[in-house]
Each structure stands twice: as C-alpha cells, then as structure tokens.
Amino acid sequence: MFFAAVLGAPQLAGAGPFADDMARCLVNSTSAADRTVLVKWIFGVITLHPDLAAMSNVTPRQRDDISSAAGTLFQKLLLDSCRSQTQQALQNEGLQTIQYAFQVLGQAATRGLFTDPQVMQGAKDLGKYVSEEKLKALINAPAQTPAQPPPQTPPQK
C-alpha cells in the first residue's frame, strides 16, 4: 500500500539535492540483474492496464514472483544500500523523494533495454511511420516569434 501511494503520486516538478543523492545512490547500488528485476516489475504492473492487458501473457504467478523480487530489491536499496541517503531525503524533502528517486532508477534501468539489438530494431521500425522530410523541415525552419499575450486592460473602477 505504501509503495502504491508513493509511486502513484503526481510526478515531481523538480527535486532537491537530497533526492538527487538518493537517486544517484539507487542507480549506483544496482547491478544489471537488479535493473532487470525492476524492468520486469514495471512491465508486469503496466500490463495490468486495460489498454495493454491483451498484449501480455503475464500470469498471476509470474506477476507475484516479479513483485516479490522487486519488493526484496526495493527493501535492500531503501533499508540497506541507500539507507542514509533515503533518511536524509525523507527528512529534508519529504515522502515524494522516494517516487523521484525510483523514477530516476527506472529510467536508468529501461535505458539498458535499448542496447539489445532486437529492441533497437523494434525502435527503428517507428521511423517507417514518421515523415523524415517533415522533421527536416521543422528542424530547418526559422524559429517563430512566440505569440504575444493580449494587452491587459486596466480594471474598471
């Protein structure tokens, strides 16, 4: 329940130095295998969304195994590997720092997926559906002057 509330909270606009230290610790304290556990957990969770459920064959048993492994990892990171950074972030910047730090870790973990040749090829397939000419025209077009706000009229007395 705690993680659902923290991870489902609105996204942070920015983070302070303590949250940054905590995030850095999380990233530096995870191995490639840990990042795989995290990515599997993210995948298992997002496939519960009705728009994605039909695209996945994750069984309840697999999802439970993934959640167990991720829970063990989260606990190790928060309570052992990055305990000091977590305490400082919580005390100085609040509970939302956990969400921020794990978002940074999630980004680092998913970035590793794109080193796989099959994933890279799948990502390249997007290019078949994007107009290269239109993108080049956008890049080479002169910048537009931002729209000016309408003049303010003084309040009526």
Res 65 pLDDT > 70: yes
Per-residue pLDDT at 15: 79
Query: The pTM is what?
Result: 0.74
pLDDT in tens, 120-140: 999 999 999 999 999 999 999
147 by Cβ neighbours in 10 Å (0-12 / 13-18 / 19+) ranks as exposed
Predicted local distance difference test score (pLDDT) of residue 1: 46
**Which residues, including other chains, have CB under 8 Å from residue 19's CB and lie 6 or more apart?**
12, 89, 93, 97, 100, 101
pLDDT in tens, 3-44: 444 454 455 456 799 999 999 999 999 999 999 999 999 999
Whether the predicted pLDDT of 58 surpasses 90: yes
Q: Enumerate the domain spans of the chain.
A: 19-116
Coil, strand or helix at 156: coil
| Three-class DSSP labels, 104-150 | HHHHHHHHHHHHCHHHHHHHHHHHHHCCHHHHHHHHHCCCCCCCCCC
pLDDT at 93: 95
Radius of gyration of the chain (CA): 21
